[in-house]
Amino acid sequence: MRRLLNSWAVVAAVFISDSAQARVFNFQNEYLASYLRATGGLSGVDDKAFAKAGGADTVYSDKSNYGFGGEIGLLLQFENRVTLRLGMEILQSQDLKKIAGKNTSGEDRFHLTSEIFAFQPKVTVEVNLLPAPESRFYFFFGAGWSNIILDNQFVMTATGTSELGGITDFTEKAKATAVSGHAGIGYEVLMVDTITSFFELGYHYLPVSQLEFKNDVTTIAQGSVVKGATVLNGDGYKRGFDMSGVFVSLGFRFYIDFTR
């Protein structure tokens, strides 16, 4: 019995000692962290990536209304007032898989798969509006340099090949670069130890005004084109779309403990 009591005494002493030495989290003392976040929201892409690429009177069965993405990076905090985030983000518009492009009689001319991705290094500044030891309410703004990739895959039907100049299956592969911007508000709160969670509501601005082909291809809108040529619609104007929109995001931050 005495041996058992002594054992429990030792365990209790160790526990109390560890607890006494446990780190007390306070945003005022935090300077460096890694983070990850997931985003989702509305998108202005609509049908602009393909609406005028498959024949003047072609009607499509779907369009892109939303997008999502993810970001990883590092942050530096200055006296719990200003935080600098350096991140790498991937954005993707709503995937459209094998949507029908129909003629005025309702017959399928082709089935289209359209995908848009954006990869961007970005810088974000956070301004802490309500400092507290274990929570923060902040305003943020920033910019990024986006590399956009568009893939439109057309699988033709016999009707489409007949009505659209004998064209057969093809894929438009295009790219673009653009400057993006973002701003919004966020709230961060301690979860456990040195890990926090954060929620953000904001708006990202990412219009794409011009693209160029990544491949040699024969298309409905332009006929035969070569790699590097500007992507045009059937009406002769440059192809463009807008990935801007309101978004929400949820993420986690992992603060580095310099005291250990």
Walk me through the domains of the chain, giving residue ranges and CATH numbers.
28-255 (2.40.160.20)
| Closest to 161 (Cα-Cα) out of 107, 213, 236 | 107
The per-residue pLDDT of the chain, averaged, comes to 90
- CA–CA gap between residue 55 and residue 63 (Å, rounded): 16
Per-residue pLDDT tens digits for 2-39:
443 344 344 344 433 444 345 688 988 899 999 999 99
Task: Check if the beta carbon of residue 39 is closer than 8 Å to that of residue 68.
Answer: yes
Quote the percentage of the chain above a pLDDT of 70.
90
Classified as helix, coil or strand, 12 is: helix
pLDDT at 168 over 50: yes
DSSP 106: S
End-to-end CA distance of the chain: 38
Task: Check if the beta carbon of residue 130 is closer than 8 Å to that of residue 99.
Answer: no
Per-residue pLDDT tens digits for 81-101:
999 999 999 999 998 999 999
Per-residue pLDDT tens digits for 194-245:
999 999 999 999 999 999 999 999 999 999 999 999 999 999 999 999 999 9
| Closest to 172 (Cα-Cα) out of 148, 149, 147, 153 | 153
The pLDDT assigned to 76 comes to 95
Report the predicted TM-score, pTM, of the whole model to 2 decimal places: 0.84
